[in-house]
A and B are shown apart, each in its own frame.
Chain A
Amino acid sequence: MTPTKTKRKAKSGSTKWNPNIVVFACNWCSYAGADTAGVSRIQHEPHFRMIRVMCSGRIQPGFVLKAFERGADGVLVSGCHIGDCHYIFGNERALEQFEKTKNMVRLLGLEEGRLRLEWISAAEGARFAEVINDFTAQVRKLGPSPLNTGNGER
């Protein structure tokens, strides 16, 4: 195993620093919304990586914390709109989990803006792209995560 040891620093000037964002998405709505963005060829920021689970209710605090621990600059948790959950109330459970996660992230000393929750339906391709662009801009403004140890991919 040879992890790269590039130091990541926000550089001013010509080279724009790009954040590393992890997106957790439920299979039925948000992941499908990202596919819809694709089918409609709605271009958006590429600096995120998606991890699919069946329901946003599956997204436990440990996943988000692990992502930050490994150096994520931002984490987006997404699911079906309230009332639309494929599993009836999974997203409401996700919301409760998210509140807990937010508190833990705050305890770690990370800015609140690095973690976001969004409900995106399977039809909302344009909204998915918007959320990604907006969140990328927000995280870019915050700069590299203070937890980033330099083992990141860039």
Chain B
Amino acid sequence: MGPEGIAEAPAGESTRDGIFVCGSAVGPQIIPDCVAQASAVAARAQLFLTGHRVEKHEEPVELLDVTGKPRIGILVCHCGINIAGVLDIDDLVQYATALPDVVAAAGSTFACSTTGQDELVELIREHNLNRLVIAACTPRTHEPIFRETCTHIGFNPYLIEMVNIRDQCSWVHTGQPVEAQEKARTLIRMGVARARQLEPLFEGEVPMMHSALVIGGGIAGIQAATDLAVQGFPVTLVEKEGQLGGRLAKPHLKYLYPNMRPATEVLEAKLKLLEESGARVLLNTDVESITGYVGNFEANLTGETEELLQVGAIILAVGADLYDPEEEYGYSKFPNVITSQELETMLVEDDKNVEIAGSRPRSASFVLCVGSRDPEHFPGCSRYCCPTAIKQAILLRRMGMDITIFYRDIRTISTGAEEMYREARGLGVLFIRIPEGDKVQVSGTDHAESVRCFDDLLGRHLEVPTDLVVLSVGMQPKQPETSKFHDILKVSVGLDGFFMELHPELGPVETPVEGVLLAGTAQGPKDIVDTVAQASAAAAKASIFLAHDTVSLNPAVSEVIEEKCRGCGTCAEICEFHAPALVEIEPGTFVARINASLCKGCGTCTSWCPSGAIVSKHFTDRQVHAMIDALFTTETSK
């Protein structure tokens, strides 16, 4: 335990081998950080478990014959009183029985329970069903359960239609049972109409390459590559520059906050682990292009090593750039206005003595949020700069300088940073708060002499003489890498310009492109501790893909009917995933073809195709039209 009584394990490892801690047990943190950290410790725990994975063994099942005229069975769920408390289930069962092609209908107390699932299997077998309608809750949560049960008995899982009479009916029209009953009847009628049009779909499988490519050799890339390689996956780590380490390497960083551990020490330890892991490291090598999809990516490497590399998963760890202040705060005008990075480089050379143009400054001013929390540059907080400025201020203060920090808000969210802030105050570092939207003025003749500002707390203007101005620069998306990989991999970029995760809580290191994961500051500003945790999380998620022998492909995707296609290329133009491509089938004749492994099944191309040549499987025009027709037709005779 640390002094605050919270487990002392910044990177998930505790002081005991084989025991890991994560989430708020390590320190206060938001859900996305908790989730990333939990994945990270799972990756670490895997290292102990390598070779002891539980093999899932499934007996092949004989597929039921689902051909011929639709034979629809309906199960209407009571969901205890959730549905039955509002709707008349017997009426719905009776109503459903009279619908076209319905051969069986029954009620079920809880369709998703083991008993309910048995009833369902019984219903399918007894009536030799080839379509199933389940009027119950939402398909978003329960369709997977019914699909799994059906798969186990060889009933094609895409022949199930769920009708939502709970979440979108009994729960929201509780006080209007008559209207709710009518709505439920209509929804069942629509569900049956759609079920009549459903077609069996079969999940394709493609082999999975068990190797990974990590792009970027900073601390994130080093960590991710190490974690994967230790588990036995072949890993290639590609670094554009001639050395590994990124911002942790010389001459970028002297000490890591809050423990003031020398950066070189940390990096050497990490590099030793990387070397031992057996990961292949390619320096001075760039990735020119990437094609393919999860399990089967092909990367074209150029530079010192030129080759075509095939991998199953990709980790993007391209890092971030630092903001360039250009002319701001007298940066390029005065020699004694420097960035926090330039100060750090000086500290790397000598952490006892700082000299600017041959003389030792006796005072220094730090300006925070340079290029961060600024709608024009980067609207977000760069997270690392407050603790870094405080760390640097403490070092300079110890050299005997008078230090003033100009801030809008001090954000010390990382473990130990608040304590460091208190230490700085104790050492006599002055903190001056400037109002939102205001900026300090750096003035002087041939060098910066003073910093002027409006003190938000005193409510008056101040002028602080200074020998040195340090601009705490925020992070920016790494360019051209971010735009390049956005283009070639279709990994989305957020409004802030950084790579965007799939979901803050549900997929903090995943991207919408399966098999492509994010590590470190490529996804947004973070400090070393968070970067390491996130990199391990990305490795853990990558290993989930890599551990499989095959990748299942979603069969509910779009398909081109080539006879109808006139090769206009609209689909290829609008698809964000590069799934459709024009193919020349004979000289001068083009048709579109959709790569089923790239298609996400959104159906946008179907709705845009001017020739009506694309079918969105499981959401076909015919299926949607059948629902609309059924909605407006009270057809009950068979």
- Measured CB to CB, the residues of A under 8 A from B are 1-4, 18, 20, 22, 27, 31-32, 34-35, 37-39, 41-44, 46-47, 49-55, 57-60, 62-63, 66-67, 70-72, 83, 86-90, 93-94, 97, 129, 151-153
Contacts and interface: CB of A to CB of B under 8 A. Distances in A.
Contacts of A55: 602-604
Interface size class of B (residues with CB under 8 A): 35 or more
B574 A3 contact: no
B625 A54 contact: no
Interface stretch (B53-61, B119-127, B172-180, B387-395): B172-180
Contacts of B386: none
5 contacts: A20-B632, A35-B167, A42-B172, A46-B182, A57-B607
Interface in B427-481: none
Interface stretch (B36-44, B67-75, B183-191): B183-191
A51 B141 CA distance: 17
B628 A129 contact: no
Contacts of A39: 167, 171
B402 interface: no
Given A43-B173, A47-B179, A90-B602, A53 B619 contact: yes
A3 B634 contact: yes
A83 B496 CA distance: 12
Interface string B281-317: 0000000000000000000000000000000000000
Contacts of A42: 172
A38 B166 contact: yes
B604 A90 contact: yes
A53 B603 CA distance: 9
Given A3-B634, A35-B167, A49-B186, A43 B175 contact: yes
Contacts of A2: 635-637
A34 B168 contact: yes
B606 interface: yes
Given A46-B173, A54-B619, A90-B604, A71 B632 contact: yes
Contacts of A83: 495
A152 B556 CA distance: 32
B602 A35 contact: no
A63 B626 CA distance: 11
Contacts of A32: 140
Contact of A38 (B168, B625, B628, B632): B168
A85 B8 CA distance: 39
Given A88-B512, A94-B604, 18 more contacts: A32-B140, A35-B164, A37-B167, A37-B168, A37-B172, A38-B166, A38-B167, A39-B171, A43-B173, A53-B624, A58-B602, A60-B621, A62-B621, A67-B628, A70-B631, A88-B492, A90-B604, A93-B607
Contacts of A89: 576
B471 to A, nearest CB: 31
Given A2-B635, A88-B576, A152-B632, A57 B172 contact: no
B139 interface: yes
A35 B512 CA distance: 23
Given A49-B187, A49-B190, A153-B634, A63 B603 contact: no
B629 interface: yes
Given A41-B172, A49-B183, A1 B635 contact: yes
Nearest to B621: A62
B607 A50 contact: no
Q: Count chain A CB atoms within 10 A of each CB in B173, B600, B628 and give the residue with the most.
A: B628
A70 B172 contact: no
A130 to B, nearest CB: 13
Given A32-B140, A49-B190, A151-B632, A54 B172 contact: no
Nearest to A55: B602
Nearest to A2: B637
A71 B602 CA distance: 28
A35 B606 contact: no
Contacts of A97: 607-608
Contacts of B139: 52
B212 to A, nearest CB: 24
A22 to B, nearest CB: 7
Nearest to A32: B140
Interface string B511-529: 0100000000000000000
Given A39-B171, A52-B139, A93-B608, A66 B602 contact: no
Nearest to B601: A54
A15 to B, nearest CB: 13
Nearest to A66: B628
B602 A86 contact: yes
Contacts of A151: 632-633
A46 B176 contact: yes
Interface in B490-539: 490, 492, 495, 512
B138 interface: yes
Contacts of A31: 138, 140
Given A35-B140, A37-B172, A88-B576, A58 B607 contact: yes
Interface-centre pick from B179, B512, B624 (highest chain A CB count, 10 A): B624
Contacts of A34: 167-168
A51 B186 CA distance: 12
A124 B125 CA distance: 41
B3 to A, nearest CB: 38
Contacts of B364: none
Nearest to A52: B139
A94 B627 CA distance: 20
A1 B630 CA distance: 12
Nearest to B176: A46
Contacts of A43: 172-175
Contacts of B186: 49, 153
Contacts of A86: 512, 602
Nearest to A132: B172
Contacts of A47: 179
B603 A57 contact: yes
Nearest to B173: A46
A88 B494 CA distance: 10
Contacts of B621: 60, 62
Contact of B624 (A41, A51, A70): A51
Interface string B583-621: 000000000000000001111101110000000100101
